[in-house]
Structures are given as C-alpha cells and as structure tokens.
C-alpha cells in the first residue's frame, strides 16, 4: 500500500516515508520514502542493476527481432529438419526407396515393385463372422466360407486373411464395410511378362531380396543403399524376339514330345543376348509352385555334349592353322578304331571326303582325322581361346562350368572334334559360333543393354579369311547338307546340326538324344546367332520317324528366323541373285563317282 | 514526447506481433498444403506404377499375338513382302497401261460431285480442310 516515487535527477534523491495512522484513508496520503547516506547508495546500486538487466533483455529481444526479420526476408532456415522430423508425412521420394524396375532393351517392364494391400482380421472386433465370410467370398472367389470361418475362430488377435490383394479387390472389400477387417500395406515384386523371361529375370524371396537371375546379380543396384539410390536395370533382351523364340520352342517341344528345349539369339557384333529361353519354365510371380527342374536354366547352367556343332570349331581350327585347305580332305571310307572305341559316320559316304563335304555330310571320321592332324595341344589351346574350357562370365548367377575330359590326348581330341567328351553350355557354344562367323572376334556375351557406339572388348581368335570360309561352309549345310530344314528364304541362314546321345551315369543313352542347331544369319554379313536345342525329341510321321537335329531342331531355327528377321530389321535378299551366289560360293572338290550319262 | 514514444512503441509492438502471428499462421497453412501435395504426389506415383505394370501385363506378346490372330487378317511377313523405296515402280508405269479392269461407279448409288483438282499438279492427301492453300 505504498508508492515509490522517483524524483528528477536535479533534486537530491531521497525517499520520503510518511506512515499513516488511519489505514482506511491510505490513498489520500501518498507514501514518500526519503533516504540518505548508505541507504541512498544501496538504492543507487539497485537502480544500476535494474538498468543493466533491462539492457540485457532489450538486447536479447533485438537479436530475436533481427533473426525474425532475417528469416522473413531470406526465407531460409532449418526448415527441412522440422519436416523430416514430422513422422506423419511420407517422404516425397516415394518409389525411390522401393526396389527398382527391370526393363528390356525397348523399355518394356519385366519386373516392378507394387504396393499392395493385405487383408487381416481382428476377430474380437468382428460382430458376425458368418456374415463376414458370406460377404467376403463374393470378392475373394478363391477362398471358401469354411476357411474364412475357421480362420476367424482362432484365438489370436491378428489373422491374415489374404496377402497382396489387387486394387479392385481392396476397393470392393472396403465397399463391403465390414467391421473387424483391416488392410496393411506391403510391397510385392510383380513380373508382368510372367514366364516369358523367367530364367533371365529370376525372382525374389518374400522380403524382396533377389535369389535368382538378374534379381540376384543386380540385387545391390536394384535395392540401392543410403548413399546410392536404386537404379533400374536395362537388359539386352527384346521381349518380341524372346516371345518368338519361346513360342517356337514350345511348339516344337510338343510336336516332337521333347522333355525340354532351350534356345537363344545373340548379337554377334555386340555380344548382347536378345533372347534366351529354357523350357520348361516357371512363373516368377509364384516360383514356389514350380519344380526345381523348371527353374533350371538349360542355356547357361546346363552343360551338354553338343555333338556335330563342334565340327564348326574343328574346321575353323584346321583351316586357320593351315593343316588342311578347302580343297583338301580325308579318307572316310572306314570307321576309325582307337583304344577300343569305334568312330563311325551317321551318314556314311564310304569314300574320300573334301573339307566342305566333311562339314556338309557331318562326317565324324573326317573331323576326327582333321583334329588329330592339328594335335591335342593346339586343339585345347584353340578351344580355350573360344572360351569353351572356362566357366563363362555372364551377369546371372546360374552359370555352369564346362566338363573337361580327365586327360586330353589323341583319342579325346578325336572325339571332341565331333562334339563328344567335352560338355559345354549352349551359351558357350553360341558365343563361340559368334566369334567364328563375325570375322573371328570373340566378344563376351552380356545380358545388359550396350549403348550404341560403346566400346566392346574383344579378342581375335581366327583370321577374317577363315571366318569368311566358315560362313560359306555353314551356308552350304543349310543349302545342300543336313540343315536344309532351317532355310528361311531371303535371310541367308547358315548353320550346323548337332545330334548327341545323352550321357547318363557315365554311359551314352541310345534312346535319348540332345539335338541342337546353331546358326547365324544373314550369312553374307552375320548379325545374329540363333541356337535351338531339344532335349529327348521323338520322331513323328512328319519326320519319317527321324529325330536327328536336321529334322527336329533345324525347323525351329528356320521358322524363328523368318519371324524375327523383320523385327530385327534384316533386309531379305534374293538368294538366287548372282551377287549372293558368288558371295556364298564354295568349291567342292568332290571325288564322288558320278553316274555316267549317255 | 514521452507519450509519443510510448504510444509509438506500443503501436509498433502491436503491428510486429500481428505480422508475426500472420507469418506463423501462413507458415502452418503452407506446411499443411505441402504435406497434402506430397501425399498426392506419392499416391499418384503409386498409381502410376500400378498402371504401368497393368499396361505391360495387358501388352504381353502372347496376348497380342492371340488378339492379332483373332481380329487381324495378318500373317507373318514373307521375305518377298519386304521392299525398299527403290523397288517402287517409277511414275511411267501408270495404272492405265496395266491390263487391269478399272473400278467403276455403282449406277444405283448417288455420288457427291467430284472435287475439282487444280490442273498441273498432283494433290496429295493432307489433314488440312479442303480449299485451304498449303
């Protein structure tokens, strides 16, 4: 009830204190305080302290105001932090934290990740389980009322009813408006192409980690990490060609009642694999429903004795070495007996055969003698140069290593010359043939798209001249030899058949064959290698009961090339024109006894 | 003077605090907007992903092949059907020289009067309206 009065500086500061005796009228008598001496000093000190405190506060406010003005003008501050700390908001980079996509060379989607809703129930919140089940089966037609009821009868608090619903299903279930049902968002890997590129793309486990194919080998890139964002993978595969290949393979597989088939299309100039199929295959959307046999990639993981297709390498080696010329030849009158083995011809001519004839009629005797002339050491070195003796490198984990003979002497060289005793994968065979026809340059195959003009590492394995001769010889096989069924008019197909008996338990199985046809087109300037292989084909009436490669595997290649030629932009040529005839001419130095005609 | 300073500072405080509150509310509103926009973007991206997958699924080569077989009278291209522009016959081979019956008008039908073609030039089909000069 007192008032402190400050007097002006000119007057002596003093505090007047007048006490009132009548408390009721305090307001009428202002209390004045007057102090002298030490009291005055104390007051002075207090005042000073007050002023200092006031200045400090004022300074703080000025700083705050300045900061505010600064923020209002510049608009920058630690805004990002406040946003990211806000747990309710989803980051705008949605999709980048999900597993990236796999695309084909034209950008067609092969694998993607989708956010799907999974339906679960909390039984204690369900009012009428019977009604729920009855309503739910109208949407989820693959579930029965009884299964839903038995699930709801469990004592647990949380029951999955169905994982990974489609958006339509989710919408319909939401529209049903049943209490006790909830959704949880999950990520699911989805393969729109189904089984079409299954072996290449591979698949993932439930946690979206790649466990096969490209999904596994590019797992780190597809998932990304804290530092590196996930990136899409662009494969060299073209789905149109892949479809044509798979379609032809499966058609002929059923025609010849084969237990399996494999094939691939390879660009010989870049090493890109445009298509690769292995049948039977599987749907990567539900890999668990398929047996291990269908997940086996016959093209890269399977190794087989390829049979006569290996004669291509034998001839290329002999011609490149100069041990024999195109005019030369070998006597194929009698089978070769060596170390208890008998090497005989399937189509015996019982006469001297020139080099083109050995290839054309697929003479085992001729090829064996030819390789023996070159010698085991050089033979081995030549096949090693073509990548036949090492595990090939390709960007998928399912790669099979070739099976080499325990020792490599004269006998082994003779058998390997016509494709027995050395097991390689169809992938190795195709890339080897690619090197033979493209001018003699070995290019490592790849399944990742190569940009135009990018440098391709390669190594010269045979001379361009030998390569040219081999092209003519391969064309000759289709024109006049065992591969005539592979003809696709206008595309100058050349190739080589290969029929081999399957090895089971260390013995050859007479009744089980692996037939293959490896080809390249167009033969005047090869662009693509096409390989087709059938596992245990059976002859039918149309093939007169034959089941050799010329009857079973060659037609696949012929039909396939006619189908994919226009897609690949290969211009058909007139095969009877002089220019083509000249380019493909082979002089056959035949000593066949012609029937005299008078 | 004292009064003026006091009044001025009070007014200043009022103005500044009004401005501050306005700014604060503005920031809050913008942040809400930003959140909504970000949600929309991520939802759209999610939808886009699904639609892309759906598009790829509906365009599977085997489906297209089955549809083409059903609805299009197309077969595989035979080599003789592929030609380059050089293979086209030159202008001298006109239709009238070929021994082919020319199509005639159906006498039972009423035809619109033929459009006059300016002489001296060949008119090619265009998407512009008739009469318009190119």
Block means of pLDDT (10 residues each) for chain A, 598 residues, are: 48 54 53 71 91 95 91 67 44 58 92 88 86 86 84 83 85 88 88 92 88 92 84 92 94 92 94 93 90 90 91 92 88 85 83 90 90 91 91 92 90 90 93 92 92 83 92 91 87 91 80 91 92 90 83 92 89 84 83 65
For A110, which residue in chain B has the nearest alpha carbon? B56
On whether the CB atoms of residues A261 and A270 are closer than 8 A, the answer is: no
Integer Cα distance of A324 and A273 in angstroms: 34
Dihedral sign for Cα A310, A316, A319, A321, please. Answer: negative
Question: What pLDDT, on a 0 to 100 scale, did the predictor assign at position A138?
Answer: 87
Please count the helices (runs of H) and the strands (runs of E) in chain A. 20, 18
Q: Where are the alpha helices (DSSP H) in chain B?
A: 2-58, 61-71
Question: What pLDDT, on a 0 to 100 scale, did the predictor assign at position A74?
Answer: 77
Chain B residues in contact with A92 (beta carbon < 8 A): 38, 41-42
What 8-state DSSP symbol labels residue A165?
E
- Interface mutation target, options B16, B27, B61, B75, chain A, most CBs of A under 10 Å: B61
Candidate from B31, B41, B52 with C-beta closest to A112 = B52
Chain A residues in contact with B31 (beta carbon < 8 A): 83
The shortest C-alpha distance from B22 to chain A (Å) reads 12
What 8-state DSSP symbol labels residue A520?
E
Question: What pLDDT, on a 0 to 100 scale, did the predictor assign at position B119?
Answer: 59
Residue with structure tokens 């001839």?
A315
Question: What pLDDT, on a 0 to 100 scale, did the predictor assign at position A463?
Answer: 92
Residue A389, both tokens: 């003796």
ipTM entry: 0.73
**Element spanning A81, H or E:** helix A79-85
Q: Where are the alpha helices (DSSP H) in A187-291?
A: 198-201, 213-217, 219-223, 239-255
Residue A267, both tokens: 């660009």
Contact B38 A192 (CB under 8 A): no
Integer Cα distance of A395 and A393 in angstroms: 7
Question: What pLDDT, on a 0 to 100 scale, did the predictor assign at position A582?
Answer: 84
Candidate from B45, B60, B65 with C-beta closest to A193 = B60
- Which residues have CB under 8 Å from A268's CB, separation 6+? A434, A435, A437, A438, A443, A520, A526, A527, A528, A529
Candidate from B31, B42, B82 with C-beta closest to A566 = B82
Residue of A483, A468, A492, A543 whose CA lies nearest to A518: A483
Degrees to nearest 5, angle at CA A70 with A66 and A75: 150
For B13, which residue in chain A has the nearest alpha carbon? A65
Chain A residues in contact with B55 (beta carbon < 8 A): 109
Contact A563 B16 (CB under 8 A): no
- Interface mutation target, options A103, A115, A164, A568, chain B, most CBs of B under 10 Å: A115
What is the reported pTM? Answer: 0.75
Chain B residues in contact with A167 (beta carbon < 8 A): 50
Catalytic annotation, pick one of A198, A236, A308, A548: A308
A2 carries an active-site annotation:
no
On whether the CB atoms of residues A394 and A512 are closer than 8 A, the answer is: no
* Number of inter-chain CB pairs under 8 A, A vs B: 82
Integer Cα distance of A300 and A428 in angstroms: 8
Integer Cα distance of A504 and A111 in angstroms: 37
Residue of A41, A42, A33 whose CA lies nearest to A7: A33
Question: What pLDDT, on a 0 to 100 scale, did the predictor assign at position B20?
Answer: 92
Question: What pLDDT, on a 0 to 100 scale, did the predictor assign at position A410?
Answer: 87
Residue A541, both tokens: 């009436």
- Which residues have CB under 8 Å from A372's CB, separation 6+? A410, A413, A414, A417
Contact B65 A247 (CB under 8 A): yes
Question: What pLDDT, on a 0 to 100 scale, did the predictor assign at position A82?
Answer: 46
The β-bridge partners of A327 are: none
Residue B91, both tokens: 């202008």
The shortest C-alpha distance from B92 to chain A (Å) reads 25
Chain B residues in contact with A89 (beta carbon < 8 A): 35, 38-39
The shortest C-alpha distance from B73 to chain A (Å) reads 17
Integer Cα distance of A200 and A205 in angstroms: 16
CA B67 from chain center: how many Å? 25
Contact A491 B35 (CB under 8 A): no
Coil, helix or strand for B14? helix
Chain A positions touching chain B (beta carbons under 8 Å): 65, 68, 72, 83, 86, 88-92, 94-95, 108-109, 112-115, 167, 190, 192-194, 196, 239-240, 242-244, 247, 488-491, 562-563, 565-566, 571-572
Residue with structure tokens 């006059």?
B116
Integer Cα distance of A291 and A280 in angstroms: 10
pLDDT tens digits for range B101-113: 666 777 777 777 7
Question: What pLDDT, on a 0 to 100 scale, did the predictor assign at position B118?
Answer: 57
- Interface mutation target, options B2, B37, B79, B81, chain A, most CBs of A under 10 Å: B79
Integer Cα distance of A389 and A416 in angstroms: 12
The shortest C-alpha distance from A310 to chain B (Å) reads 31
Integer Cα distance of A309 and A470 in angstroms: 12
**Element spanning A138, H or E:** helix A129-139
The β-bridge partners of A448 are: A235
Contact B53 A240 (CB under 8 A): no
On whether the CB atoms of residues A64 and A186 are closer than 8 A, the answer is: no
Contact A92 B42 (CB under 8 A): yes
| Segment-wise mean pLDDT, segments of 10 residues, chain B, 134 residues | 88 93 94 95 89 92 90 78 75 60 73 65 46 44
Contact A562 B76 (CB under 8 A): yes
- Which residues have CB under 8 Å from B128's CB, separation 6+? B134
């Amino acid at each position: 009830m007192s008032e402190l009065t400050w007097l002006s500086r000119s007057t002596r500061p003093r505090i007047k204190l007048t006490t009132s005796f009548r408390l009721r009228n305090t307001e009428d008598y202002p209390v004045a305080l007057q102090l002298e001496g030490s009291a005055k000093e104390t007051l002075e000190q207090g005042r000073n302290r007050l002023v200092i405190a006031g200045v400090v506060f004022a300074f703080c406010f000025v700083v705050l105001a300045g900061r505010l003005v600064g923020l209002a003008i510049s608009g920058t501050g630690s805004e990002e932090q406040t946003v990211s700390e806000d747990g309710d908001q989803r980051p705008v980079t949605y999709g980048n934290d999900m597993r990236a996509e796999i695309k084909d060379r034209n950008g067609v989607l092969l694998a993607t990740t989708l956010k799907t809703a999974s339906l679960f129930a909390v039984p204690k919140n369900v009012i009428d389980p019977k009604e729920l089940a009855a309503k739910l089966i109208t949407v989820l037609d693959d579930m029965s009322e009884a299964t839903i009821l038995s699930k709801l009868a469990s004592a647990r608090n949380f029951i999955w009813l169905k994982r990974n619903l489609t958006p339509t299903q989710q919408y319909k279930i939401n529209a049903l408006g049943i209490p006790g049902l909830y959704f949880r968002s999950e990520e699911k890997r989805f393969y729109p192409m189904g089984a079409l590129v299954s072996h290449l793309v591979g698949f993932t486990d439930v946690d979206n980690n790649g466990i096969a194919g490209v999904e596994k080998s590019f797992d780190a890139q597809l998932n990304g990490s804290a530092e590196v964002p996930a990136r899409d993978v662009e494969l060299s595969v073209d789905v149109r060609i892949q479809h044509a290949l798979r379609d032809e393979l499966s058609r002929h597989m059923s025609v010849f009642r084969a237990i399996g088939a494999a094939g691939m299309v390879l660009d010989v100039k870049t090493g890109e694999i445009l298509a690769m199929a292995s049948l039977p295959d599987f749907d990567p959307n539900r890999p668990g429903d398929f047996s291990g046999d269908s997940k086996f990639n016959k093209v890269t993981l399977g190794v087989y004795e390829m049979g006569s297709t290996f004669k291509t390498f034998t001839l290329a080696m002999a011609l490149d070495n100069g041990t024999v010329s195109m005019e030369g030849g070998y006597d194929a009158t009698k089978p070769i007996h060596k170390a208890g083995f008998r090497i005989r011809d399937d189509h015996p001519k019982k006469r001297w055969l020139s080099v083109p004839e050995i290839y054309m009629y697929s003479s085992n005797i001729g090829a064996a003698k030819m390789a023996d002339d070159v010698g085991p050491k050089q033979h081995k070195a030549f096949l090693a140069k073509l990548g036949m003796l090492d595990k090939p490198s390709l960007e998928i984990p399912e790669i099979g290593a070739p099976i080499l003979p325990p020792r490599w002497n004269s006998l082994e060289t003779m058998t390997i010359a016509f494709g027995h005793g050395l097991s390689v994968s169809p992938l190795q065979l195709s890339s080897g043939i690619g090197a033979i026809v493209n001018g003699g340059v070995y290019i490592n195959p790849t399944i990742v798209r190569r940009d135009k003009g990018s440098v391709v590492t390669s190594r010269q394995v045979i001379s361009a001249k030998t390569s040219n001769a081999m092209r003519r010889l391969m064309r000759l096989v289709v024109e006049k030899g065992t591969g005539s069924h592979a003809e696709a008019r206008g595309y100058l197909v050349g190739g080589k058949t290969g029929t081999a008996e399957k090895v089971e338990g260390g013995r050859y199985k007479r009744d089980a064959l692996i037939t293959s046809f490896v080809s390249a087109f167009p033969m005047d300037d090869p662009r693509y290698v096409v390989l087709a292989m059938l596992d245990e084909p059976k002859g039918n009436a149309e093939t007169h009961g034959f089941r050799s490669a010329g009857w079973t595997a060659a037609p696949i290649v012929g039909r396939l090339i006619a189908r994919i030629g226009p897609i690949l932009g290969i211009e058909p040529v007139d095969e009877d024109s002089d220019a083509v005839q000249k380019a493909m001419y082979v002089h056959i130095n035949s000593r066949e006894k012609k029937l005299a005609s008078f | 003077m004292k009064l003026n300073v006091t009044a001025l500072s009070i007014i200043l405080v009022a103005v500044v605090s009004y401005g501050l509150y306005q700014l604060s509310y503005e920031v809050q509103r913008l942040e809400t907007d930003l959140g909504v926009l970000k949600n929309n973007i991520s939802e759209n991206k999610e939808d886009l992903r699904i639609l892309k997958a759906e598009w790829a699924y509906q365009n599977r080569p085997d489906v297209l092949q089955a549809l083409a077989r059903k609805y299009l009278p197309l077969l595989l291209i035979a080599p003789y059907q592929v030609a380059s522009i050089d293979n086209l016959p030159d202008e001298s081979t006109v239709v009238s020289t070929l021994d082919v019956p020319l199509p005639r008008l159906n006498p039972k039908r009423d035809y619109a009067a033929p459009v006059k073609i300016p002489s001296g030039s060949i008119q090619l089909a265009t998407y512009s309206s008739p009469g318009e000069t190119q």
